[in-house]
Amino acid sequence: MDGIHDVGGMEGFGPVVVEDDEPVFHHRWEQRVFGMNFSAVGVDADRFRHAIERMDPAAYLATSYYEHWLHAIETLVVEAAGVPPEQLAEARRQLAAVPDPSAAVPHHVEPAWAVALVAAVTTPPPPPAAATDARWPPGARVRVRRHIVSAHTRCPRYVRGAVGVVEAVRGVFRLPDASVAGDPDRREAVYSVRFEAEELWGAPGHRVGLDLWESYLEDAG
């Protein structure tokens, strides 16, 4: 999907604004959103990212990072967890009628879940399978395909058609394009590919490395 999220190389965004002594979270609601994502609905990063990418482009640019997450969780609670949308609307109606909606959220604890969750997020998962049948070795010249028509892809527009050099083979990973399309078992080698700025932007000065799945690439010829 060539969506609004794919901003690499877009011009007109202005300066990078840095906040001094920024807290990890700015608002309590950001904490709740962050925490809610660690549940069955947020566990699939591909579907989660795709839910954000489908936001209305104007809303995407006008809202903050954790509003994107909120949108995604609301979307996946319906799409992935099967909660009827009316239930969300009804909860909003109910809570809109009370003076402090946050205080009116039911409190329900599951101490065992919490312990298991914290252990899970701070334990390294097993390494990815080595790519024993990778098509290209380090040093190979590859071209990114011009056309990626998946509903969800991790191949940004700014490298489409560009030629780069394989720096490393990172292992075998689930292909996000297939996963979001309903085939979570398709796996492919992922390559770290180095591009010269001249090739990407027509002016030299730096190099950019991207990690790209095998089906995004073709022989540079």
Partner 1 sequence: MTAEGHDSAPADIELRVAALEKVMIEAGLVASDTIDAIVDTYENQVGPHLGAAAVARAWVDEDFRRRLLDDATTALAELGIGGVQGEVVVAVENTERVHNAVVCTLCSCYPWPVLGLPPAWYKSPPYRARMVREPRAVLAEMGLQLDPDVEIRVWDSTAEIRYLVVPRRPAGSEGMEEEDLAALVTRDSMIGTGEPRLPS
Dihedral sign of CA atoms 69, 12, 56, 147 in order = negative
- Check residue 164 for interaction with partner 1 (CB under 8 A): no
| Residue 12 backbone class (left: φ over 0; alpha: ψ -120 to 50; beta: rest) | left
Q: How far is the CB of 182 from partner 1 (least distance, A)?
A: 20
Partner from a second copy, partner 1, none binding residue 149, C-beta < 5-8 Å depending on class: a second copy
| 201 or 221: CB nearest partner 1 | 201
Q: Which stretch binds partner 1 (CB under 8 A): 80-88, 135-143, 177-185?
A: 80-88
| 101 or 137: CB nearest partner 1 | 101
| 5 or 187: CB nearest a second copy | 5
Residue 108's CB is within 10 A of a number of other CB atoms, namely 5
Q: Which of 200, 105, 103 is nearest to 158 (CA)?
A: 200
- Check residue 6 for interaction with partner 1 (CB under 8 A): yes
| 88 or 183: CB nearest partner 1 | 88
- Check residue 85 for interaction with partner 1 (CB under 8 A): yes
| 205 or 221: CB nearest partner 1 | 205
Residue 196 φ/ψ, nearest 5 degrees: -80, 140
Give Cα separations from 2 to 10, 63, 78, 109, 150 (angstroms): 13, 19, 24, 41, 9
Q: Which of 154, 141, 156, 150 is nearest to 190 (CA)?
A: 154
- Check residue 145 for interaction with partner 1 (CB under 8 A): no
Which structure tokens are listed for 165? Answer: 């050099």
The site for a second copy (CB under 8 A) is made up of: 1-4, 9-14, 53-58, 61-62, 146-149, 157, 161-162, 201-203
